[in-house]
A and B are shown apart, each in its own frame.
Chain A
Amino acid sequence: MENFKLKFFCFAAAVMTVLMNVSPVLAENAADIAVAASTKPWWVWPLILLVFCFVLGVVAVLAGVGGGVLYVPLVSGFFPFHIDFVRGVGLMVALAGALAAGPGLLRRNLANLRLALPVALIASTFAIVGALLGLHLSNLNPNIIQVLLGVTITGIGFLLLFSKNTEKPVVTKQDAISMALGFNGCYWDDGAKEIVDWKTHRTIPGLLLFILIGMLAGMFGLGAGWANVPVLNLLMGAPMKIAVGTSKFLLSITDTSAAWIYLNKGCVIPLIAVPSIVGLMLGSLVGVRLLAVAKPKMIRIMVICVLFFAGLKAIDKGLGLGLLG
């Protein structure tokens, strides 16, 4: 265990050093970025985006981390687009992915409609609040959003690193709301060769957390899978399978309301949006093919490192410290 931690820190340090030195764009300020952008022909950008998002799509699947979470910090770090547009497109990308995954998950009963609907109502309502607040703040001073985004991304990194999802949580007693709404179901566990009945509890704390999750999703244009799953699984007690499936489906509802706000505010730039959506989706399709042969744990750790770096970089940029180059 000690050996592993040492290896982990060395590796993380190495990745960060490489990233800091290899990405000059990250070090430039706004004016320089504008100059750099205008020296390349316009069509280079959609092409680069397509390839970049393709790689992102592959990595997101292999690492077990949502595409939305990676898109906003990385694209805002490496590309010259303003954070308003990155968030707008990021939401469309997350929305497209969730809508595409929805049918398959619903049909296989991996996404539970009854569990999703009330939760989605809360999350989608507050996503509107988050989106409006986010756009207002970035209008006042984009650095505020930059710092908040950085803090959130770093937090997500910690969450992904340390949260251990439970396959079959033990729920001793269903609370009144959970029972009234019918937050229960069953699935076949082929390993144990038995039907697993599940139910949830702690509905009120869960719903309260979804208020926060909705706001964060709307404010930063991130998908919210990283938050939905722990709340559904660890807090409310839904089994891992159901929590993951339901989370992805419920994203499609939450992100729809936030996406409309950004769309109506003019934050979705078509030139950027379509290659991002298509690139990520194609990347995901390929990523699934590679699941059997890749080493998910390694990739996940690398991605978490990248997230930490991106988060700290965003804070640094927002506060104007210039510590990270």
Chain B
Amino acid sequence: MTAVLERPAPVRPAGPATRARRLARRVGGPWTYAALIAVLAGSAFPVYWSFVVSSQTPDAIDSVPPVLVPGGHLFANIARVFDTTDFALAMVNSIVVSGTVTISVVLFSTLAGFAFAKLKFRGRNVLLLLIIGTQAIPTELGIIPLYMMMAEFGWAGEIHAVIVPGLVTAFGVFFMRQYFERAIPDELLEAGRMDGCGSLRLFWHVALPAARPAAAVLGLFTFMQAWNDFFWPLVVLTPENPTVQTALSTLASGYTTDYTLVLTAATIGTVPVLAVFLLFGRQIVGGIMSGAVKG
């Protein structure tokens, strides 16, 4: 803990007490552990179970009582997945799509969120409400006009048709706006202004460092969502150029569905997200700490 304590403190909540303080969080007792383990078990069970099924023969999925320990067929099943579909291409496509979308969403959301939270301009509230309102639109029907546009641009079947509409999200802007509102005290920005900083410099030197933990959370969420999106990719992409999710749908498509194969592919498809999670997870944990702990 002490090493972390020395770090600079970009984030200061604008709560009632704004003086420097030390964090002494409650230490968890046995009940905390018991509850956390229960939560973890509940969250992880289906994921664990799909791993179990992917290491078994196809019979395991509907045995009674259910099979709960991994078997020895994992690699054979993985080989079958790569034989049946172009899963390597699907993984690469998904990484490109999710990576691009994540970087763009985090960047543009941070910019817009900062402006909505901390800069005053005419029409600010109206524009913000408009953004929140767009979150309420059911997107399912929008795929027809969206597809018309993509066809017009000649993008149908290409992965930019999946990337470009995802480059900004209402969620991201709203999320960063809520975060900035509290994370940066107005006095700090005023002080910066007095020193002659323009808004871009304030953004760069004050807002961006303060945004790290939230940006990491947003980045993670965006990556996960882009990775798991399937409704639109299924319409606009073709099985020759799939993402992981559309490849999964192809696998699950025969008259008969080999669930083992689908769950194996789903398990492989989880690995990159887990890797990203490890990457951002440290950022989130570290970021939250450095943000919260005041020296």
Mutual binders A and B = no
Binding site for B on A (CB under 8 A): none
Binding site for A on B (CB under 8 A): none
